[in-house]
Chain A
């Protein structure tokens, strides 16, 4: 299982806080996962998940799109942070 979560503007844009996916070879990296989600979700997902400066974290560490994914990973997509 891969747990995917979305935050802030991305979550609102998608109307979705997150979803669980079975791990399979077509979601073996962050880039593959994003392609899979956009293929399923259509234009609004494509727009949200390819937003400029979108950040991806795997198991709560920021990663690049090439990051491989394993069964059990938690993957988060979020916009640039604005705390403090």
Chain B
């Protein structure tokens, strides 16, 4: 039985602390894989001055939880945590953190990548960037869909 945790929050997070909390939840880990995503400083050759992240409260948490459960069904995962920020963010800010602990690296790496691929294509978040020419919604990328379809 894996220990799964999802947090959607406005505030920043501390990856070191999240990793320690992940390790504190289970015994016998030989591996932890983590991913941290940041707000880009430029996109399509435009400077990014800021970003606003909107989400669908309730469905967001439900959708990410389902993704963590699927990952835990596919690989022998001890614990998995996903943290995602919403609201106003600045270039260079942390947006998302995913951490997976397991006995061996293969499960930790694979589950972490699986979770990120499905978080990006299923969880109801929308990014709006403030660029040189004003505000614009970030377009979904086919390459993200293709990455998720590999699994």
Contacts and interface: CB of A to CB of B under 8 A. Distances in A.
Contacts, number: 70
Contacts of B55: 83
Contacts of A81: 120-126, 140
B4 interface: no
**Main secondary structure on chain B at its contact with chain A?**
mixed
Nearest to A53: B140
Interface stretch (B9-17, B19-27, B56-64): B56-64
B59 A83 contact: no
Contacts of B138: 82
A5 B124 CA distance: 13
A84 B120 contact: yes
A73 B95 CA distance: 31
Contacts of B122: 62, 81
A82 B59 contact: no
Q: Which of A79, A80, A82 has the most C-beta atoms of chain B within 10 angstroms of its own C-beta?
A: A82
Nearest to B96: A84
Contacts of B58: 60
Given A8-B137, A9-B137, A79-B137, A84 B59 contact: no
Given A8-B137, A9-B137, A60-B62, A83 B56 contact: no
Contacts of B127: 82-83
A84 B62 contact: no
Most chain A CB neighbours (cut-off 10 Å) among B37, B56, B96:
B56
Interface in B96-125: 96, 116, 119-125
Interface of A: 5, 7-9, 53, 57, 60, 62, 76, 78-84
Interface of B: 37, 53-56, 58-59, 62-63, 84, 95-96, 116, 119-128, 137-140, 144
30 contacts: A7-B124, A8-B126, A8-B128, A8-B137, A9-B137, A57-B56, A57-B59, A57-B124, A60-B62, A60-B63, A78-B56, A79-B137, A80-B139, A80-B140, A81-B120, A81-B121, A81-B122, A81-B123, A81-B125, A81-B126, A82-B120, A82-B127, A82-B140, A83-B84, A83-B95, A83-B96, A83-B119, A83-B120, A83-B123, A84-B144
